[in-house]
Amino acid sequence: MPLSLRLRFGSTCHYTTDTVRRLNTRLNALAHANAAPGTPGPADSSLGGWTVAVKSNIATATAPTSCASQSLENYRSPFTATAVAALEQAGARVIGTTNMDEFGMGSKNQFGIYGPALNPHGSDADRSPGGSSGGSAAAVAAGMCRLALGSDTGGSVRLPAAWCGVVGFKPSYGRVSRCGLVAYGSSLDAVGFLARTAVDVQTAYRVAATPDPRDMTCMSQSLRARIDKLVNSRPWLATTKPVGDMPLRGVRIGVPREFWVDELSVPALAAWKQGAARLAAAGCEIVNVSLPHIPHTLPAYYTLALAEASSNLARYDGIRFGTRASGLPSEAASLANASLKYANTRTHGLGSEVRRRILLGTYVMSAHACRHYYLPSQRIRRLIQREFNAVFALPHALCESSTVVEERSGVDALLFPTATDTAPLQHEADACPVSSYVNDVMTVPANLAGIPAISVPAACHDGLPLGLQLAAQYGDDELLLQIASVLETVDR
């Protein structure tokens, strides 16, 4: 049995309401558990009988869309997110909403009104499940549900998946509608999927990945058709057939050297090498590649993400959205200085980490800082996108006019670690608030480029999971899921 299967809590999932509540008492993975989950769909439907947990920043009709924030603690959305509705129509039933970092801002699932969530693998001590979709990853890992939805702005699905020993997938930007997802960084956000196997993730993804006229950033049907034509025109995959125990014969995997960072632990490096060897055994050709601007992605990401967050979160002022704080100044004073209303409400309604990021984002968008931080970060983002385009054999559907691939000059996917180490202690203090941002060093490049990426359980160190990450060209989600399914089962 491969390590990816030994990491999981057996083969049995606990879907009964009583068992879910008992597990949640220990893990605090669910923010709200539905008292009477919806009736499961027919067994012959694609998701018939599946139980799904939804991150608290994705709109549902059965629980508050709180984003783990005091400002939205009692907010109920008047509509259901497109991705959730698609899963329900396919037969899945929502069991509740999951714990998270407030507004998706955090890497350890500790910034939120529901308190910290815990990793099911932390038997000897309370370990972090990762963030910000830590509740979703913990629920899947503990067997509380078969599938969970999360949001991924800079790795918020893949990092928790790696630390909890499950599969976490961020589709290409625009593949899955963001309608109903509360915005953090609008040009970076994606609805992601967490499950125990890549096959389950692929099944749910195919249900949810449809055009949506309510989301202008969602891929149109014509763009999806163009991508399909590109993907199906690769001669090296069309003419190379799998042979025996080499199901990925003809696939070329790149190993980018820039991800060998100083923070990478010895166990994570060993898992990376083992993963490359396992893919080679499955028929892949392993080659070294270079992405020179990867070291600049983390500061560029946080500059852009926080700038967008400061704009997106301006609506939570107690007037348009959010609960207005009590103890406001007198009516006369508030009329004289209306900003006091906003300041008091946002001070009480938003947590310390969210306020920190709003302040930083507001600063980098100021006239002086914009020239020195925001605009250079946008240039770095464009360079990163071009470097990914240069290493992938498949052309970028939005950048190339050709719809036929004639010859291969690059790789089909990239392999690198999801996290620099195993899950840390939940209550372990960071040296400074900004030091926790380093957890995202492996995951943010995919969000900046808008490409699909997936984390697969790869190894185990001292009883704690380690994940490996695969990334592919924009729109090449299906090949990525195929490779991931082989990677997690190649030792079987």
How does residue 4 score in pLDDT terms, banded at 50, 70 and 90?
very low
- Rounded-to-integer distance, Cα 345 and Cα 35, Å: 32
238: pLDDT confidence band, cut at 50, 70 and 90? low
Which amino acid, residue 308?
E
Which residue among the candidates 4, 55, 136, 172 is catalytic per the annotation? 55
What single DSSP character describes residue 241? P
Strands 413-417 and 252-256: parallel
Would you state the pLDDT for residue 455? Answer: 98
What is the reported pLDDT for 37?
57
What pLDDT, on a 0 to 100 scale, did the predictor assign at position 10? 42
Query: Is residue 311 among the annotated active site residues?
Result: no
446/188 Cα distance (integer angstroms): 9
E-strand spans in 5-98?
30-33, 51-55, 93-98
Q: Order of strands, edge to edge, in the sheet holding 464-472?
A: 30-33, 93-98, 51-55, 147-151, 191-195, 167-170, 453-461, 464-472, 413-417, 252-256, 285-289
* Displacement of CA 27 from its chain's centroid (Å): 20
Residue in the block written with tokens 């070329």: 252
Task: List the one residue out of 348, 388, 424 whose CA is nearest residue 69.
Answer: 348
Which 8-state DSSP code applies to residue 70? G
- CA-based torsion, 322, 325, 330, 336: positive or negative: negative
Tokens of 206: 């195919």
Q: Of these residues, 56, 71, 132, 310, which one is catalytic?
A: 132
- Phi, psi (5° rounding) for residue 312? -65, -35
CB 301 within 8 A of CB 184: no
Average pLDDT over residues 213-220: 97
What's the Cα-to-Cα distance from 11 to each of 127, 140, 143, 350, rounded to whole Å? 22, 12, 9, 40
Return d(Cα 435, Cα 167) in angstroms, integer. Answer: 26
First to last CA, the chain: 5
Give the integer Cα–Cα distance in Å for 283 and 482. Answer: 13
* Confidence band, pLDDT 50/70/90 cuts, at residue 11: very low
Percent of the chain with pLDDT over 70: 87
By mean pLDDT, which of 169-183, 220-234, 332-346, 385-399 is the weakest?
332-346
Q: Confirm whether 156 is a catalytic residue.
A: yes
CA angle, residues 186, 173, 47, in degrees to nearest 5: 110
| Model confidence at 334: pLDDT above 60 | no
- Identify the DSSP state of 95: E
Which distant-in-sequence residues (6+ apart) come within 8 Å of 422 by Cβ?
163, 265, 267, 268, 461, 462, 464, 465, 466
Inform me whether the pLDDT recorded for 349 exceeds 70.
yes
Residue 14's pLDDT is: 56
Quick one: pLDDT at residue 92?
Answer: 96
DSSP category for residue 15: -
Decide if pLDDT at 3 tops 80: no
Active site residue 241: no
Q: Are 113 and 69 in contact (CB under 8 A)?
A: yes
Nearest 10 degrees: Cα torsion 333, 337, 338, 341: -60
Task: State the burial class of residue 61 (Cβ atoms within 10 Å of its Cβ: 0-12, 13-18, 19+).
Answer: middle
CA 145 vs. chain centroid, Å, equals 18
Q: Please report the pLDDT score of residue 5 as a whole number.
A: 37
Give pLDDT, residue 40.
56
Task: State the DSSP code for 315.
Answer: G
DSSP letters of 172-205?
A: PTTSS--TTBPPSSTTT--EEEEESSHHHHHHHH
Say which range, 120-124, 343-347, 431-435, 485-489, has the weakest mean pLDDT: 431-435
What predicted TM-score, i.e. pTM, was given to this entire model? 0.93
| Catalytic residue chosen out of the listed positions 151, 156, 177, 485 | 156
Query: Is the model's pLDDT at 490 over the cut of 70?
Result: no
Cβ(297)–Cβ(444) under 8 Å?
yes
Tell me, what's the pLDDT at 39? 56
The token pair that represents 482 in the structure block: 């195929």
Q: Which of 216, 207, 205, 120 is nearest to 165 (CA)?
A: 120
pLDDT of residue 251: 95
Mean pLDDT of 64-71: 96
pLDDT by residue (tens digit) across 243-274? 667 899 999 999 999 999 998 999 999 999 99
Residue ranges in 232-330 assigned as alpha helix (H): 235-238, 266-281, 297-312
Check whether 311 has a pLDDT greater than 90: yes
Q: What is the pLDDT of residue 42?
A: 64
